[in-house]
Structure 1
Amino acid sequence: MPAAITTSPAIRSRSGFSTLLSDYALLTKPRVSLMVIITAGAGFYLGCLRSGISPFSRSMVEALFGIALVTAGSSALNQALERRTDRLMIRTAQRPMAQHRVGLVHGLLIGFLLICGGSLYLSWATNMITGTLTLLTAASYVGVYTPLKRITTLNTFIGAFPGALPPLIGWTAARGIIEWPAVALFAVLFIWQFPHFMAIGWMYREEYAGAGIRVTASQKPLGWAAKSTAIQAIFYAVIMIPASLWLVPLGVDGKLYGVAALALGLWYLTASIQFAKIAGDPENPDARKLARHLLKVSVIYLPLLLAAMMLDARGRLFF
């Protein structure tokens, strides 16, 4: 068992001046929360256009506010459960609960209040199905995915379900019902996660292994782990193309979106194929660079795809 990563004197000095509000902000995992809000907002936008109403209204603000509350609460509970594991990895060692700047009871209280309050608010501000789905998303993320990270590599597949629900939740907030376009949005985000997480897993495989977190890239032998990681990245990048194009026959988007989705999908696939070179020489120092490149492509790909969806929604802007 590796020793916990401690805070350097310089960091301890700075942390003494940090405020409770800044620690609260770190508990919400701002990047994750932002991605959830963006994807949920895209689902809400497309759902509103389906209904023929303006998406830019008070309802959108209310929906995204409630979703943001539940997301923040889920992140807080996630850090409460992983506070010991977080101390073992450089990338997470300075989180407030890992460093005991926020106590366990304190963090749990914040998490439960935000999740319960956000779900109730969504049920009141939008509809019951949206509030229920958001609560189930938080429960599966915290109660199922998080514990499984130390048990099986299947945690990535299982965790992709709550990770893909935000755009579907955004759609139900606008429409009040689960429809095939909402399922298609779920499928897009579900599939997108795998090349993205394969890249992250490979970049931090040693840290994950040291902390006891089970990811494909950290399994032994290394050659098998590299091949399995590469195959999964390519497989999901391939099926990402038809999944993203599904929105066209469903009538959500037009031809311009179809062209953009195809081009972006081929770009994502190319980056995944390049990443697959790790299978040939997993110990090559350049393997980490290939993973970092795929990660960069993945975080650019998704916002561009969502932007294309929204700009050409139902083909009304260009065709």
Structure 2
Amino acid sequence: MWKVRLGNRLLATRANVRGLSYSTKSYSANFYYANGILNATNFANRNSGKYSIQFTPNYRLITGVSQRKTKAAVHAVEQHIERADLGFCHPVPRKESAETTSQIPFGVKPRKSAHIQGLSVVQRCLAGEKLSWKQISVPYFMLAKPHLTFLIMLSSTCSYVLAPGPTNVAAFLCLTVGTILASGAANAINMGREPLFDKQMARTATRPVVTGKITSQEAYTFAAISGTAGCAILYFGVNPSVAGLGLLNIMLYSWIYTSLKRKSILNTWIGAIVGAIPPLMGWAACSSLMDPGAWLLASMLYAWQFPHFNSLSHNLRTEYKRAGYVMTAFVNPQLNARVALRYSLLMFPICIGMSYFGVCDKYFSLDSSIFNGYLSYRSFMFWWQQHKNYSRATLAAGGPTKEAIAKASIYARKTFWGSIWQLPVVLALMMLHKQGQWDRFFHREEDEESSRKPHEFSG
């Protein structure tokens, strides 16, 4: 930022301008200047007084400067500009002298060349630029979609805890690390395949492949290393079944789901299958996939994704359409809301089945119904508004009003946030109500004595 003084009086400040006007209570004048060192010799017919121009930090506020402008002041500025164009006014060559009062009170970092700026973090390191560990690691951390990876890891570990088999700390840690690496690999491939489409959406425009911090080839390399390491950890640290499910999930998400996003609305159903596999991985790490609890838990994660994603895609339908993704939210808005409600209601029999098959105690059916009911209520309001917006009578009258469309968006947003906290709460209730979880704390003495007596057989 430039600062011009007349003696000890601050006249004006302005960043990167050609003409500037200043005024005080007792004195008014206009000067033209160019970027460079400015001293008294730059001002025509102004031999008296000391003039200086210098840089000041942008955060320092300058006060007491009037912004009053007159026609005469503007005309004077135009005259100075004309004189400069004719060559009468030029910046003084940079010299270190007592007359030169310009100074930079803060450090100026050298500007990176365009060649360095257009490279990824790895290429910049290879080009000799010194980057901090944070500058290198953060783009790869974001490449793995940490929030989505955390939810996937949470569902697999909760399933491991709920399974009736014996637990093992080493297997649990291998399951956690392997699931994180496998999920990160699938997400990296997904980002590497879609940079041209992701940059058209505000939600995905800052992804590292879109911004150029990581190239698509580097994303694939990261995915290969992460996926191989994750599946190897699951294979040797847990069992081959879990490793096979992890590899299957990588292929489903990065290949089939990503390809279908631009072709068919079935991509949502395939994506729901991807979300249902991690609970199977956790259960298979501790017990058998033949147990009903494994498939009930997977079904719950499968059903949960429809109210979660359909409500999210409703408010992002314009961006999805602009990017070329085929989503139910704009292809068939009524179906989008109806599917969200349908699978919200499906959560009730699934949770009741967890109690029926002995995975959780009977009180889980009651506790979970409270939170499933809330999610179903939000989904119902979303569906009901969309049903009214796209009914035959509404379409015959010219379509829904702006107020009705805005109301549907509000209900969709509430459904989305309701699903965000409903899933972890229900999973926590599952572990709280796990069958036999509290027997050692609340068992009866007579039950303990009867268990010590040998069984008597008649006859």
Q: Same fold (TM over 0.5)?
A: yes
The aligned length equals 297
Which residues of structure 2 form unaligned runs of 5+?
1-116, 122-130, 390-399, 443-459
Note if 1:72 corresponds to 2:184: yes
CA shift digits 1:132-182 (9 cap, x unpaired): 111001111111011100000111012211111111111111225442211
Which residues of structure 1 form unaligned runs of 5+?
1-11, 220-224
2:417 aligned partner:
296
2:155 aligned partner:
39
CA shift digits 1:256-299 (9 cap, x unpaired): 21111211211111010111113323642232221110001001
In 1, the alpha carbon distance for the partners of 2:338 and 2:299 equals: 19
Task: Report % sequence identity.
Answer: 28
Amino acid at match of 1:301: Q
Q: Within 5 Å, which residues of 2 pair with 1:1-319?
A: 19-47=135-163, 50-51=164-165, 53-54=166-167, 57-175=169-287, 177-219=289-331, 225-276=332-383, 277-281=385-389, 283=402, 284-317=405-438
Range 166-175 or range 304-313, more displaced: 166-175
In 1, the alpha carbon distance for the partners of 2:333 and 2:388 equals: 8
In 2, the alpha carbon distance for the partners of 1:218 and 1:119 equals: 37
Task: Say if 2:337 and 2:379, in contact at 8 Å, map to a contact too.
Answer: yes
Task: Say if 1:129 and 1:176, in contact at 8 Å, map to a contact too.
Answer: no
Runs ≥4 residues deviating over 6 A: 15-18
In 2, the alpha carbon distance for the partners of 1:185 and 1:61 equals: 21
In 2, the alpha carbon distance for the partners of 1:65 and 1:123 equals: 12
Taking structure 2 as the reference length, the TM-score comes to: 0.62
1:7 aligned partner:
none
Task: Say if 1:254 and 1:316, in contact at 8 Å, map to a contact too.
Answer: no
Per chain length, whose mean CA-contact separation is higher, i.e. which structure has more relative contact order (CA < 8 Å, sep 6+)?
A: 1
In 1, the alpha carbon distance for the partners of 2:370 and 2:289 equals: 31
CA shift digits 1:88-110 (9 cap, x unpaired): 00000010001111011111000
In 1, the alpha carbon distance for the partners of 2:167 and 2:215 equals: 44
Task: Say if 1:198 and 1:217, in contact at 8 Å, map to a contact too.
Answer: yes
Q: If each structure's strand is expressed as a fraction of its own residues, which one has the higher value?
A: 2
Range 278-287 or range 292-301, more displaced: 278-287
Task: Say if 2:280 and 2:289, in contact at 8 Å, map to a contact too.
Answer: no
Larger radius of gyration: 2
CA shift digits 1:53-91 (9 cap, x unpaired): 346x23211111111100011110110111111100000
